[in-house]
Structure 1
Amino acid sequence: MTTARRHGPDLTEAIMRTTLELGRELGYAKLSIEAIAARAGVGKHTIYRRWASKGALLLDSLLSVSPSDLDYPDTGDVLADLRQQIHEAVDLLGGAPFGPLFRALVGEAQQDPGVAAALNERFIVPQEARTVARLERAREQGQLSPDFDLELAMAVLSGPLYFRLLITQEPLTHGYVDRILDALFTGMGPRP
């Protein structure tokens, strides 16, 4: 009996799924292209034709299985919308299986400029653009001060989350998100 050969998207998906499975089992430091290739039933060259590095493969793998694209709702209440979206983000990135792998990916980005550029281009910049766009709509609706720096607001929103996720590794909780939002909106709200 012969095994059907996988090609194209099916093979790519199998390699990425295997990467995540092994990443969860072994951790990023022990994850290797050789181990991924062996478990996926492919040669190393098959992987290297698609990805330049282990970090690039992990990035694609994480982005491929995200259960949420982290888009913002627009209910007309910017604070409620931010709260919902950021709660979803911390649920995704703050716990298993994505949290440890995402932290490892950010660490890899510090050593690999290609991974850093791809992470920034494919995850950080799009998320920042969605956040700023939601804040712009809120400002247009009079929910935010017309002169508030929205890019700074994005940095203030994300900075404490990344600090906990990457530096202190304290839990990312909904309560912590709520405290950040409350503090930020005290200064961001429209002035009488």
Structure 2
Amino acid sequence: MNASFTIEGNLVTESTAGRRRGDDLERAIFEAALAELAEVGYANLRMEAVAARAKAGKASLYKRWPDRARLIQAAARYKATEVDTEFEPSGDLRGDLRKVMRYIAEYQGTPFGEAIRGWIGELRADERDAEVEDLRARIETPRIRVFAKIYEDGIARGTVRPEALRPRVVNLAPTLLTHYFLTRGAPADDAVIEEFLDQIVLPLITAS
């Protein structure tokens, strides 16, 4: 039986009877974990609080994820699938790039961004390569498609160099935003985005 949930204060209540299992339970836990992050931050997040918010037993959390780092990694992977890739270029190269970069920065300011930053901080050296690569691909691939679409439109209009479609160049703008976010602890504001655009991205991709 499917169940739906509503957030009331600090509680998530089950609106229909029945035991949640599998995907339904995991989604409820992921949403509870991200909601808890929004309130207390990663440093103060506790598995017990997530379980209470999701109306789930602590054992059901620890059975799936041995610690909060693993739980938040899973929640981040779940949330990463919500990235919108249905962006159509307008023909205004700078305006389109600025719009997408602002969207990424705003997204980093959500509990999802806090989840990524906290999880990376707790990774052990022997876990880092494979785990980071998997999550990085899930987050970056949709964004790369959007930037590639903008660059392809610019190439067709003669405003973007064909070499701009190289993978590392296409991923440059989101990489700059992610590096700023991870090292500063806050998303890039409009002024920083303007600097990235005018001093780094546009000089690199713009056709002569």
2:150 counterpart of 1:150: no
What secondary structure is seen at the aligned counterpart in 1 of 2:88? coil
Distance 1:159 1:90, change over 3 A: same
Provide the C-alpha distance between the structure 1 equivalents of 2:163 and 2:81, rounded to a whole number of angstroms.
35
Cα offset, 1:90, TM superposition: 0.7
Alignment match of 1:31 (pick from 35, 41, 45): 45
CA distance in 1, matches of 2:47, 2:69: 10
In the alignment, structure 1 residue 5 sits paired with structure 2 residue 19: yes
Gaps of 5+ in 2: 1-15
Which whole-Å CA distance do the structure 2 matches of 1:53 and 1:122 have between them?
Answer: 22
Structure 1 residues 80-89 or 66-75, which shifts more?
66-75
- What is the rounded CA distance, in whole Å, between the counterparts of 2:74 and 2:157 in structure 1? 37
TM-score, normalised via structure 1 length? 0.76
- What's the counterpart of residue 43 of structure 1? 57
Give the fraction of aligned pairs with identical amino acids, expressed as a percent.
Answer: 26
Distance 1:118 1:52, change over 3 A: farther
Q: Which moved more, 1:101-110 or 1:78-87?
A: 101-110
Letter in 1 for 2:144: E
Q: Which among 61, 76, 89 is matched to residue 75 of structure 2?
A: 61
Distance in 1, Cα, partners of 2:124 & 2:116: 13
Structure 1: runs of 5 or more not aligned: none
Q: Which residue matches 2:184?
A: 168
Q: 1:90 maps to which residue?
A: 105
Say how many residue pairs are matched: 189
Scaled by the length of structure 2, the TM-score of the pair is 0.71
Secondary structure in structure 1 of the residue aligned to 2:163: coil
Q: Does 2:118 correspond to 1:104?
A: yes
Task: Give the alignment's Cα RMSD to 1 decimal.
Answer: 3.2
Secondary structure, aligned partner of 2:83? coil
Which residue of structure 1 lines up, in the alignment, with residue 148 of structure 2? 132
Query: 1 CA distance for matches of 2:122 and 2:88?
Result: 32
The one-letter amino acid paired with 2:18 is A
SS at the partner of 2:114? helix
Q: 1:136 to 1:51 in 2, by over 3 A?
A: farther
More moved, 168-177 vs 106-115 = 106-115
